[in-house]
Structure 1
Amino acid sequence: MVIGINKVILIGYIGNDPKIRYLPSGNTVCNISIATKNRWKTPNGQRQERTDWHSVVIFNKLSEIVQQYVKKGSLLYIEGYLKTKKWQSSDGKNRYSTDIIANEIQILIFKETNTPEPTPVKINNNEKYKLNNINTNYDDFDDEITF
């Protein structure tokens, strides 16, 4: 029997300050948007860029930590899974949207200083790790990959 894999990994900038809502169960939930950029060169060598926005849902203690430490413009690493929801619009048509349900978040760059911080950055079951610098200079990568 084949089991499917549903795993998402994103690194991107948060587009809104996190706001917590309380569910009827008393649990907390936080919705954020993450922007990722894709860069490539056209066959004639012209550079192109596209920004994609991703809807991320964060629950419980993780949502509370995100609200406390993350601001609009922070760079985040997010691990989670995709979940598609279905609803009917006011005109009776079925609508769908897909969210990323986060189960691990690392704060890579805090907005206030715009530099990597050696403070707690990996947020998962209250674990804390030191931050490693990441290379965000896309010009350092080869544009052609041969197999």
Structure 2
Amino acid sequence: QNQAVATFSLAVNRQFKNAKGEREADFINCVIWRQQAENMVNWAKKGALLGITGRIQTRNYENQQGQRVYVTEVVDDTFQLLESRQSSENNHAPATTQPNNKSNVPGDSHDPFAGSEPLNINDDDLPF
């Protein structure tokens, strides 16, 4: 039975700046399945600001050279575009997000992506 699958790398800003005063990013391997994979392919473009929910999974396999390879990735259940499609298309530099775990209002519905800052990265620096 064929199932849709999409793999991608998610760029996530670090909370701190490096010694040069620049923000660094981590590139996290992700996989998404079925209808959500089809939706992502149709709606999300390279550099889009995304929010994802899922779980971390570690798997391993033996490559063609007989070596054991370990892979850690996020298996996404759902994703959400965090910007309008028009805004994404007008934004030439890729954007990324990181959670902001601070809530100033007690009982406020917590938006983990509120207050995030986009990270400007050249397309040549991205691994996909």
TM bucket (normalised to shorter chain) is 0.5 to 0.7
Number of aligned positions between the proteins: 94
Q: Which has the higher contact order (CA 8 A, sep 6+)?
A: 2
Give the structure 2 partner of residue 136 of structure 1: 116
Give the structure 1 partner of residue 11 of structure 2: 35
Deviations 1:94-125 (A, max 9, x none): 110111111121101232134xxxxxxxxxxx
RMSD of Structure 2 on Structure 1 (CA): 2.4
Unaligned runs of 5+ in 1: 1-24, 115-132, 139-147
CA shift, 1:39, in A, is: 3.7
User: Which protein has the bigger strand share?
Assistant: 1
Q: Distance in 1 between matches of 2:22 and 2:16?
A: 5
Q: Secondary structure at the match of 1:65?
A: helix
Question: What are the residue-to-residue correspondences of 1:74-85 with 2, within 5 Å?
Answer: 74-85=48-59
* Residues 58/137 of structure 1: CA separation in 2 closer, same or farther (3 Å cut): closer
How much identity, in percent, do the aligned residues show?
Answer: 24
Give the alignment's TM-score, normalised by structure 2: 0.63
Bigger Cα Rg: 1
Q: Secondary structure at the match of 2:116?
A: coil
Q: Secondary structure at the match of 2:36?
A: helix
> Contact between 1:76 and 1:106, CA under 8 Å: does it hold in 2?
yes
Unaligned runs of 5+ in 2: 92-112, 119-128
Q: Secondary structure at the match of 2:37?
A: helix
Give the alignment's TM-score, normalised by structure 1: 0.56
